[in-house]
Amino acid sequence: MPFYSASLIETVQSEIIRDNTGILECVREGIGRVIGLGVPHSKRLLPLLSLIFPTVLHGVLHYIISSIIQKFVLLILKRKTYNSHPAESSSPVQSMLDAYFPELIANFAASLCSDVILFPLETVLHRLHIQGTRTIIDNTDLGYEVLPINTQYEGMRDCINTIKQEEGVLGFYKGFGAVIIQYTLHAAVLQITKIIYSTLLQNSI
């Protein structure tokens, strides 16, 4: 968990104030956060014990939701594939397509649904991990300024209530555009893969 916090800081830290750090910087930051030495933080930094529950909750819910959706989608796709292509009449390419593509679609659907459903919780989690770490982020609204992280959340419940009061429900979905772009590209890769397999299937007939 402390290394997750350190890696999260590395991903959002502005390039303007970033030092020339090595690839193992997050390891040093993580160790420093555990022992409380070598890393300058403010008094607003939340202790690791208060981050355990939201971190574990997010991980467990993500696993449960993705597992249920993956099995459900895979069951539907395999049943549909079995009804469309009897096993004895399938070519090797068709068999490969029927074997692997439903799993790719199921994994995609499971990951998409779990990320969308848990995005508000992930927003809260990220804010709690970054608070008090002296992180400077880019002002994406203006494009030429940097902003310090000056939040003063006391915990998960206070973070949720503060976001709801000050930013509204949409505050939980800040940065959601990146998720849309990510899964749009993912869907495009899956579609291209299916086209390639379908082309190979037609050439083998």
**CA gap 80, 43 in Å, rounded:** 57
Percent of the chain with pLDDT over 90: 35
pLDDT in tens, 137-151: 766 666 566 677 778
Query: CA 60, 65, 66, 70 torsion: positive or negative?
Result: positive
Q: pLDDT at position 13, please?
A: 75
Residue 10 has pLDDT above 90, yes or no: no
Cβ–Cβ < 8 Å for 142, 14: no
- How many other CB atoms sit within 10 Å of the CB of residue 134? 16
Mean pLDDT of 102-107: 89
Percent of the chain with pLDDT over 70: 76
152 contact partners, CB below 8 Å, separation of at least 6: 44, 131
Cβ–Cβ < 8 Å for 58, 125: yes
- With the CA atoms of 149, 155, 114 and 57 taken in that order, what torsion angle do they form, in degrees rounded to the nearest 10? 140
Indicate the average pLDDT of the chain.
81
Q: pLDDT at position 37, please?
A: 57
- How many other CB atoms sit within 10 Å of the CB of residue 13? 21
Q: pLDDT at position 183, please?
A: 95
pLDDT in tens, 32-83: 777 765 555 667 788 888 889 999 999 999 999 999 999 999 999 888 766 6
Strands 136-138 and 146-148, bridge-based pairing: antiparallel
Q: pLDDT at position 16, please?
A: 65
Q: pLDDT at position 44, please?
A: 76
Mean pLDDT of 76-103: 67
- How many other CB atoms sit within 10 Å of the CB of residue 4? 15
**CA gap 59, 65 in Å, rounded:** 10
Write the burial class of residue 97 (CB in 10 Å: 0-12 exposed, 13-18 middle, 19+ buried).
buried
**CA gap 183, 75 in Å, rounded:** 22
